[in-house]
Each structure stands twice: as C-alpha cells, then as structure tokens.
Structure 1
C-alpha cells in the first residue's frame, strides 16, 4: 500500500452556507460551491469542519494530510470500501498558510431516520409523542429498551441488532488490516441502517489513528473508557469497546457491563464478550466476532419491537459523548488547561459528515468535466464509483431542517444547593512553618443542562469556572426555544422523565448515580434520560 497525495483547498475559495453543528472541537459548515466524487453523477454535497482556535496548537497537520492522502494510496476496491463505510477526510483546508480544517461529504440519507420526538411544554411539565425531523441513526438510540426504540420510530428486530453488530466487527477487522484503529469507538460515532440491509457507517474519522499517528490527542467517551493503564486507540482497545457495545446493545442499557446478558442469544457470544473485556492479549479478533454474530443471527427473531400504546415508562435517551481535546470532556485531557472550556456534549459528531476520499472536488456551478475542477486526489475517479450493489442514494443531500442532536434532556432545577458557597477554608493568620498552611481548596467547576421545549432535545456543559459561563454554554448549544433544567457545581446533574405525568425534572448530586436517583425522585418516578459531571 503506497501513500497518495493530500488534496489541499484554500479557505478563501469556499462559499459557506448554514452552520450544521458546533462543539468543543470546532464548527461544521455547509459548503455551497463545491462537490466531491465527480464519478457519481452530479457529485456529493460538501461540508467543512473548521477546528476551534483552542484546538489548533494540538493539531498534527501531517497526520491530517496522511489521512486525506490514504485513499489515493489504496487500490480501487479498498478505496471504494473505505469511502462507503467511513467518514474519511477529503481535503485539507488551509487558512493563512496553515491547516484550519478539512472537507467532507454529507452523510448518506439511508443512515437517517424520522425521529418521533417528545414535545415538552413550558415549565418542564408535559410532553407528547409527535412526528419529528430526520435524524442521524446513531447506534446510541438502540441502547434503550424496545418500547423507547419503537416509540421514536425505529423498526429493529433481534436479527437486525446481531447483523448490525456483525457489520461493525467486520468493519473493524478491515480497518485494522489497513493500519487504522478507531480509538473512541462508541455508539455516538456509529451510524446504522437496516435498509436495504443491516450495516454500519463510522463517522468522526479525523479522531482515528492511522499507522500510529493521530490528528488530535486521543480522548474517550465517558462510560466507554478502556481499563486504566492501557494504551488508547489500539486494536486491543477497539476490541474491548466492541465487546462492551455487544453487552449494552443486547442489554438495552447505556452502562451495562455483564456479558451474561448475551447468554440467551448464544452462550458462545457471552464467552466471547468475557474474553473481550479481559486481558488485552486474549481478546478475540473482530473477525471472530463477525463470524459468531452472523451465525447467531440465523436463528434470531425477525419481528421488530413494537411501540407501546402509551409512552414508555422509562425513556433513557442515549448518553452524549465527550468533546474532543480543546473542548474537554471525559478521558484524555480532562482537567487540563485546554480541557477546561467549551464542554458541550454535541456538535461535530452530530453534524455527521462523511467523505468519499481521493475523488474529484469540483465547483458546484461548473460542469463535472470542467478543466477548472479542483483536484481532491487522483484523477482516475472511475475506479472509485459506488459499488453498484450498494444501493446508495445519489442525491445525499443534507437535511435542511437538521440540527445538532443534543441527546441530553433537562428541566429547570431550582434546588438552592446549586448556588455558590463561601470558601470554608480559613488560613492560620500566623503560621509558624509553611507546612502549617493548608493548601487552598480547588476552584469550583460548574456544569449545566438545557432542554429544547419543542422536542425535548438537550445540551450539556461542564467544568466551567463560573455558573454563568456553564449556563451560557449549555444554552448556546441548545438551538431553538430552550430553558435551563439543572445547574450543578463540583458534582453531577441528571434529568429524568416520568411518562405517567409527562414531566421532565432535573436534579444534582455528589455522584452521577445520586443525581440520577434525585432526578427520578423529583419526577415522581420514571427513568433518567441523561447525566453529566464535573471532573
């Protein structure tokens, strides 16, 4: 496998349209004057991810260029496969002579679904199930009970779950063969479809590791971390998270860790998960997972889960992922100077952009054969056309109503315990030695959760220096008619939903579990839907 040449586009040549998403790592914009993949009819729509200024000092521009150049160094079949299964960067965008971001292709529409949302009224009171907009089909939606999954408009059978996970495993096996490790493998970075067949699609690919190089420092999603002391973004770490995903996908739970849940499907799968969650040297290869999952699917039920006649008793919306370095979040870099700000929980991943790499980047207003087309890779583009059996949608237009998917939901929490308290430390006025002076207490770290009233979508922030900063950050990333649900300091916040009363409630606690219990108690029952903690 040889290396291709990285395509470079100057920022000044781009005409930017609407903002598709924003997060700690940067901002994603629609690009109205460019297309990629000249070989596919009119080409595919383009989006631009611009890194935030706080991220740029950590950016390894050479690693980004290597990712862009990869497809050009693959043979035709490999390049086509990579472009169909992952969201791979298409071209480096330079501003002022420096790498500022990259171009990507908008995600195929088959990896979206029509989300039936809950419409919340004012005061955090009522909600009703209504038809929603097209959403990215993140795998996190399936880490909930069948009533919730069916209630939001997804038709998923047990066989579908097995085959989707089998495709994730097969995709990992091929990526590993190419020298790519995913690193932050989590359900937020995985999209799925069942039409025309169950399969996955990986996004957030600039966070992946190529031949050991990484564009930005590796970070991990809360509750999806590898065991302490292990190296991040390795084949072994990917298998660990694949095993964790298998457990949670069939437990219908966000945080389950017991492989025994797989026993009813296949005792062999349960054993495979136990091995995958144990010693790195003994973890089974992804190809073994793909083989056994496919075998188990042959006898699995094909009946989709049915929606209940009323709202489900427990609506546990999928947990949002941590931002990348520069935006904070759990995992690597949490608590560092760079990780202290901009801790929004959705944005770039929710913008969900994919690229078909090493194809031709063309001006939208020019002919596909125009000599003025900007090259995004090798000109022999006919070798990278979509697999004719893939059944892809040639339009792939971004949903004009799309907004970032804020999987955190909340209601206002008037609990007075969220107020700042005075510093209890009083130093000795006349210390005799330096040792007698107690160290000052750590600074307060604030977080908040906001809720969009129209559909119950939420946004989180955490690890801010003041209450006002945390609340403003949560509101800034909750687009539309939003209100604060809970604010917390040096601890955790959570939101619960009670289907009987159709009410959302937020509460805080010293730990995540305590915050969840408090929110459920304040809601008078039901289930938690999201939570967040300061570091």
Structure 2
C-alpha cells in the first residue's frame, strides 16, 4: 500500500486563519492547489497543544489511517463520499516530524450564510443544522430563510444517506450533534455535508483521540445511565472499587452504529419539531405525527425504534435511507413556500424601534427579543 499524503507545515505556503474552535484552528492554504486525486482549495486544521497531548503518540497513525481510508474507496464511491463528507485528505507534520493537523477540502460556498448579528453586523460562516432547531423569529432575525417541512424531510433523507454510507464502510461517527452537519436549504436542491469527522472511528481502529465524545444533550440512554451510575459510584462511602468505575466509564464512552442511530433520531426530532427550547428536546411526539402524516406509519415506527432505550431494538441507517429515498419527502400535496426572509438591515439604515417579528432594534443595543403584544 502506498504511503498516505503528508506535508510539513512549511510546504503549505501562505496560511491564513479562518476560525478557532476548542480543539483546533482552521487556516486557509491558498497556495496548495491539489493533493493526490483531490483538487483544492484546502484548509489546514491545526490541533492545539492540549488536543495533541490527549491523543498522544498515536495521533499520527490515527490521522494517516483516515487519509488511507479515503484513498482506498473505489472511484465511483469516492465521488459520492466527497459530495457528502469533508474527510481528511492529507496529514500535516510540524518541523519536528510530529503530527500537527490535517488538510481538508474547503467547505463549498453554498453551505455558508451571512448571519445577521444583534448589533446589525454580519458573520459569514457555515450554516449548521442546529439553526433548524430554533424558533422562526430568531431565524428571521439572523437572515435565515424559512425552511418548509418538505425541505426539512429532504435534508433528513440526505443525512440518512450520508450516515448510511459511512456505516456501510465501517465508520462510527460517535460525536453526532447539531454542529457537525451543515446544509443548503435551497428548496430546488437541498443538500448537507458531514463535517468534523476526525473524531469518528474506523472499523478495526481505535478512535484517533482515544475515546469518542458525547456532545451534551445528545447522549443515548445507555450513556446517560452509565454516567449517573458512575457519579453514584464515585460519591458512595467508601467509593466503588476502581474496576467498577472503569467498567461504567467504558460503558459511557463506547459508541457504535446503534448510538449513531439514536442520535440521528434526536436530530430528526429537533429538525421537525423546532422552536424555542427545542434544540435539546427528546420528545418525539410532534415529529412522529409529521412522519406518519407525510411518509406513513413505517417512518413513524422507525423513529420510535431509533429512540428505543435498548440499543438492540434500534434499526440500521439503511432502513431510514430506504424510507426517505426516491422523493418520498416530496410525497405530500404541494405546499406554497414562503419566500426567503431577507436579512435585517444593517444598523445604519434602521430606525430605533424597528420590528422584525418579536425582535426590536434598540439604538445602541442592537436586536432585542420583545414580549409578544408589547409596543
């Protein structure tokens, strides 16, 4: 097997910071035009020292495994993979030879949005799927378009296709949340991409960073139960034996296609039953009704099974894909779509007291939510 593509930081040319997160900083590398069979442009995800220390000396091997995994995909499958997933294409080492980060394709423009800030300014960044979880008034204030139930179902179908493809190839996503799916809500061709996949686990390998994390409010029931039991074990007098605590921690941390399916079920609930406070909802009631009315009782049953407490009762992602494919999300009678909501004007053109739904522009303070009925 040929070695996976690698670069030393100095070989990347110009590096321009784009975004900073809790584990890494993302940089644009405009001078790099191609890596193997993948044309640019690219970004360089440079892990911070804390992240590299937690991964330990196996970081380089883990990241190389990611790159080699993609390189082994057949050409026809690689195209479908790259259309849905931002996957590492090369390992980057520092000047000492230690693993420092990864190269990835830059996210296509269609997945970005100019978010209007409360102060009237704007922020250009990817449109994360969690923006579909919130209330319409906040979305309107941010300049986001109204997204119909039809389009939401199509986006869910696209997520199911991407996750199903990853599961088929032996990839457990693990850290699924509203921030590692981005989307384009264009009703004519809605699309998604899976991002931040470096915490995933490839079959036959350990997770690159040791364990696969659970984002708060996305834990499956078995992880929540193990977490609560571990807290009780630590607080008992005397504390539970170390082997008992280790076993509970392992139960909490182990992720599989079954935990992925549960988290996908949560995503379905939050995309379909959206509003204030719904970003952390685990109540499937409204989503069940929408699936039943739009797609039939089989789709409702899939959601029920996906959110089962017993992992063995959960379906596979292919079941979701089959239920949602073939335009099934478009099966309901045609509905009129609202025109995209324009972004609120910049502060220079707004009068004090201007209203957008339940948001009011206050000079010197920006956009503020007001109580319905207040003038």
Alignment TM-score, normalising by the size of structure 2: 0.75
Q: What per-residue deviation string (whole Å, max 9, x for no partner) do you get for residues 250-277 of structure 1?
A: 1102011111112332333333222111
Match for residue 29 of structure 1? 27
Aligned to 1:188, what secondary structure does the other structure show? coil
Change (3 A) 1:22 1:143: same
Q: CA separation in 2, counterparts of 1:300 and 1:66?
A: 47
Alignment of 1:480-491 (within 5 A): none
| Counterpart contact for 1:146–1:305, Cα < 8 Å | no
Residue in structure 2 matching 1:287, options 310, 318, 336: 318
Residue in structure 2 matching 1:139, options 129, 136, 140: 129
Q: Which has the larger radius of gyration?
A: 1
Match for residue 330 of structure 2? 297
Q: What per-residue deviation string (whole Å, max 9, x for no partner) do you get for residues 417-464 of structure 1?
A: xxxxxxxxxxxxxxxxxxxxxxxxxxxxxxxxxxxx9988xxxxxxxx
Residue in structure 2 matching 1:180, options 168, 171, 176: 171
Change (3 A) 1:313 1:104: same
**Residue 167 (structure 1) aligned with residue 158 (structure 2):** yes
Q: What per-residue deviation string (whole Å, max 9, x for no partner) do you get for residues 103-156 of structure 1?
A: 11210011112333332xxxxxxxxxx573433111011001233334423242
Q: CA separation in 1, counterparts of 2:216 and 2:301?
A: 25
Q: CA separation in 2, counterparts of 1:5 and 1:454?
A: 55
Which protein, 1 or 2, shows the higher relative CO under an 8 Å CA cutoff with sep ≥ 6?
1
**Residue 48 (structure 1) aligned with residue 60 (structure 2):** no
Residue in structure 2 matching 1:154, options 123, 145, 153: 145
Match for residue 106 of structure 2? 106
Match for residue 498 of structure 1? 369
What runs of 5+ residues in structure 2 fail to find an aligned partner?
227-250, 343-353
Change (3 A) 1:37 1:205: same
Q: CA separation in 1, counterparts of 2:169 and 2:97?
A: 31
Per the TM alignment, residue 87 of structure 1 is displaced from its structure 2 partner at its CA by: 1.0
| Counterpart contact for 2:85–2:162, Cα < 8 Å | no
Q: CA RMSD in A?
A: 2.9
Change (3 A) 1:157 1:239: same
Match for residue 208 of structure 2? 215
| Counterpart contact for 1:224–1:241, Cα < 8 Å | yes
Further displaced range: 243-252 or 259-268 = 259-268
Change (3 A) 1:146 1:86: same
Match for residue 349 of structure 2? none
| Counterpart contact for 1:261–1:270, Cα < 8 Å | no
Aligned to 1:284, what secondary structure does the other structure show? coil
Change (3 A) 1:296 1:286: same
Alignment TM-score, normalising by the size of structure 1: 0.54
Per the TM alignment, residue 26 of structure 1 is displaced from its structure 2 partner at its CA by: 2.1
Aligned to 2:88, what secondary structure does the other structure show? coil
Match for residue 274 of structure 1? 304
Q: What per-residue deviation string (whole Å, max 9, x for no partner) do you get for residues 41-76 of structure 1?
A: xx4222211111122123232111010111221110
| Counterpart contact for 1:7–1:91, Cα < 8 Å | yes
Match for residue 78 of structure 2? 79
Alignment of 1:417-432 (within 5 A): none
Change (3 A) 1:114 1:300: farther
**Residue 190 (structure 1) aligned with residue 186 (structure 2):** no
Q: CA separation in 2, counterparts of 1:166 and 1:272?
A: 13
Which structure shows the higher strand fraction? 1
Q: What per-residue deviation string (whole Å, max 9, x for no partner) do you get for residues 293-334 of structure 1?
A: 34343116543356599434389xxxxxxxxxxxxxxxxxxx
Which structure shows the higher helix fraction? 2
| Counterpart contact for 1:206–1:215, Cα < 8 Å | yes
Aligned to 1:258, what secondary structure does the other structure show? coil
Match for residue 462 of structure 1? none
Q: CA separation in 2, counterparts of 1:145 and 1:301?
A: 24
Per the TM alignment, residue 165 of structure 1 is displaced from its structure 2 partner at its CA by: 0.4
Runs of 4+ residues over 6 Å off in structure 1: 453-456
Change (3 A) 1:115 1:240: same
**Residue 245 (structure 1) aligned with residue 267 (structure 2):** yes
| Counterpart contact for 1:5–1:72, Cα < 8 Å | no
Q: CA separation in 1, counterparts of 2:182 and 2:208?
A: 22
